[in-house]
Amino acid sequence: MKSTGWGRGLAVASVLAVLLLTGCATRTKMTFEDPAESVTAASKPVFLMTATIKNPYKTRYQPKLNVLHVEKPGATEAADRWNFVVDDKARQETNSSTRGNHYLLRMSLDPGSYELVGFSALASAFPVHGLFFVPLYANLKVTAPGVYYLGHVEATVRERQGEEFRAGPLIPLIDQAIAGASGGTFDIVITDQQAKDEAAFRSYFPALANVPIIKAMLPSFDRIKAQKRWDAQ
């Protein structure tokens, strides 16, 4: 029997959701998803960052973040990789190609060395579902307890030129092309917006009301590094 557009759309969306949330990594909740959670001297170090993602290249398909990917250097198993799942408390989505979708991201990590690999996102407009990946490849050293601000990530899809890394995988071919994931790339800028972001975090998460937030900015996005990682795949 010939499949309908509706059935095809559901199938694609289901597969993409599984890829986003599982894979070879440990599915992990964002810090303060539980409203009873607090910051104490015994708490793991907490890291805060904001992100805005928009797609002026294919304006109907605005990506929505689903996962922040973190792993230890040289990770070979799920225990050394974490998928921090974006919760409803993180989401400030406009679906606007100019304003973008905005997120308040939080993660708790044990002391050690990590790499913030990037974000996975999904853009859906019936019957198309496009999978996007925002590369970061930023090193993070976790030491003392506390709450730390990593910065704001602005990720904007534009048309890909030459062999630039793609904004998402090639497959499924039709969906990825229509959404702009395979034909696009990301311009990524990391900036210090602590004054604005700190106020937002304190407003949305009562556990942060009286807790010092220490600036620990991520380095500027390294496009050459991201391109090398893409070329090596």
User: SS3 string of 44-88?
Assistant: CCEEEEEEEEECCCCCCCCCEEEEEEEECCCCCCHHHEEEEECCH
Q: Are 116 and 218 in contact (CB under 8 A)?
A: yes
Boundaries of domain holding 48: 5-232
| pLDDT for 24 | 85
Residue-wise pLDDT tens digits, 17-32: 444 444 588 999 999 9
Characterize 140-150 residue by residue with b for buried, 16 or more Cβ atoms within 10 angstroms of its Cβ, and e for exposed: bebeeebbbbb
**Pairing verdict, β 184-191 and 147-159:** antiparallel
For the segment 147-170, the average pLDDT, to the nearest whole number, is 98
Q: What is the pLDDT of residues 118-134, one digit of tens each?
A: 999 999 999 999 999 99
Structurally, the chain folds into a number of domains equal to 1
